[in-house]
Amino acid sequence: MTLRNVGDLPVLPLPESFALTAAYNDDQFPNKVNLGQGVYRDNNCQPWVLPSVREAEETLHNQQVNHEYLPIAGDSKFLTKARQLLFGPQIASSAENISSLQTVAGTGANHLAALFCARNLCPKNVFISDPTWDNHHLIWEMAAPNVTQRLYPYYDPTTRGLNLDGMLAELESSAEDNDVVILHACAHNPTGIDPTREQWKKIAQVVRRKKLFVVFDCAYQGFASGNADADAWAIREFYSMLFTEELSSSSSSTPAGMFVCQSLSKNFGLYGERIGALHLIIPPWTSPEGAKAHLVQLVRAEISCPSLFGARIVHTVLDDAELCTKWQEDVRIMALRIKTVRALLKSELEKIGARGDWSHIEQQIGMFSFTGLSIAQVQELRERHHIYMLSNGRMSLSGLNETNVAYVAGAIRDVL
């Protein structure tokens, strides 16, 4: 290995979303619009503290809680509630094959999952949707450099919809036993395109037949449709199809296991608290204790133990029936606002005669729209109109409201 002076290391670029936010903040143009950063904004395009979260903060303040270390695996009360939210009370309370650990948001959960898979499964490939959240690639590059990253078709630019046939064909022809496949549980980032329930069942059948290890990334539960149970449907269906007691321990088509990387940052508006969980599901006739011990060891080496405040907030909200009902209304409000600006943008583009079919904007779900704009068009939007979005055409809809949607629509028409 060649020794280098650390002062000679090349400067690496910032991730695009962070670089865009920095450029937006430096821009002095009065009508600039930030459609790049994946965070919720209210109708004035300002940060919004969920009322249920604010009330939980006040409750904790009045309790005068301490600030001691958590166990390595995290806050057990938080993990119980996070698991119930994700899997539903029935599965969460009865399934002994689910092990849960608190993580540094969804990113930390994904990184821990990649480390564990690389060290213990030794997969040949990890299959990642084309396109995907860009951090998936970096996480696997850093945590599992010996695992080959392979793309499976996901977005069909012709229909601006899901390429299910291409996805299934790639997994059928290229995936091997114990290979890993990353799936977005809801509100796919960046496309906003989710499989239907029947399509999810077809994907699960291929996973079971090919004996793949699934890593679900669940970053927007409740935020996508406004209903937390509906947004967790795919995860619960996979659990039912892959890991129920009806499956025989000698089954030749049982996958090795499944991870769910759960972020509570976005659906609680706790971005800076970095709160998340990792759930490992293994076949019910096996013991999870050994696998959980290896995960705990990885956490110890990385962060020693997770942070406390965000976990307390989530537990306080979900453990109180009245607060939980308020939180459900909060996420419904967020989801409804995003749906409303989707309809506004589509209507405005059609009203001003923007070239093309814009129905996909309203058909997609979640915070993002995969607009279909080219790299050159996105660059022109930034340079001429001070509108910032990712170069792949992903638009964060929370940056839109009634006062700027006409300006954005007109700018899009100008660059087509």
Cα 143 from Cα 182, distance rounded (Å): 15
What three-state secondary structure class fits 217?
strand
DSSP assignment of 235-251:
HHHHHHHHHSTTS-TT-
Catalytically annotated residue among 210, 266, 326, 346: 266
Q: Is 266 a catalytic residue?
A: yes
* Phi, psi at 34, each rounded to 5°: -100, 105
Candidates 87, 24, 143; CA nearest to 385 is 24
| Contact of 222 with 325, CB cutoff 8 Å | no
- Could you say which of 75, 179, 194, 217 is catalytic? 217
Q: Does the active-site annotation cover 217?
A: yes
278: CB partners within 8 A, 6+ apart: 100, 101, 103, 108, 109, 112, 113, 259, 260, 261, 262, 295
> Could you give the angle at the alpha carbon of 71 between the alpha carbons of 297 and 84, nearest 5°?
100
The residues near 380 (Cβ < 8 Å, ≥ 6 apart) are: 415
Catalytic residue among 133, 140, 327, 358: 133
Catalytic residue positions, numbered:
133, 217, 266
